[in-house]
């Protein structure tokens, strides 16, 4: 694996994993009152564009990181809808 791809995978992993503690906390506390629907919609839309960009550029780090991030954010959004 070339160094550029490795740097992208490390960066993507770290930024994606940063959402995991929020998913766990939201699941445990069942509290989502401080989350804005607008922020989630904008973030998810932006992530979809990053996935499209990654696909167009054939960039595995961009595709993987954003697909996992989209999944984690979708889980938080589902909790927000469920626990309102």
Residue 5 has pLDDT above 90, yes or no: no
Domains and CATH numbers, the chain: 3-82 (1.20.1280.290)
Are the beta carbons of 47 and 69 closer than 8 angstroms?
yes
pLDDT tens figures, 14-64: 988 988 888 898 889 988 888 888 888 899 999 999 999 999 999 999 999
Q: What is the pLDDT of residue 18?
A: 87
Q: What is the pLDDT of residue 58?
A: 95
Q: What is the pLDDT of residue 66?
A: 95
The full 3-state SS of 22-78, as one line of letters, equals: HHHHHHHHCCCCCCCHHHHHHHHHHHHHHHHHHHHHCCHHHHHHHHHHHHHHHHHHH
pTM of the model: 0.81
């Amino acid at each position: 694996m070339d160094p550029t791809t490795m740097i992208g995978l490390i960066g993507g992993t770290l930024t994606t994993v940063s959402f995991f503690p929020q998913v766990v906390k939201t699941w445990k506390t069942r509290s989502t009152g401080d989350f804005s629907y607008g922020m989630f919609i904008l973030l998810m839309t932006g992530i979809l564009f990053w996935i499209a960009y990654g696909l167009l550029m054939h960039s595995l780090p961009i595709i993987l990181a954003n697909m996992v991030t989209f999944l984690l954010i979708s889980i938080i959004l589902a909790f927000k809808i469920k626990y309102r």
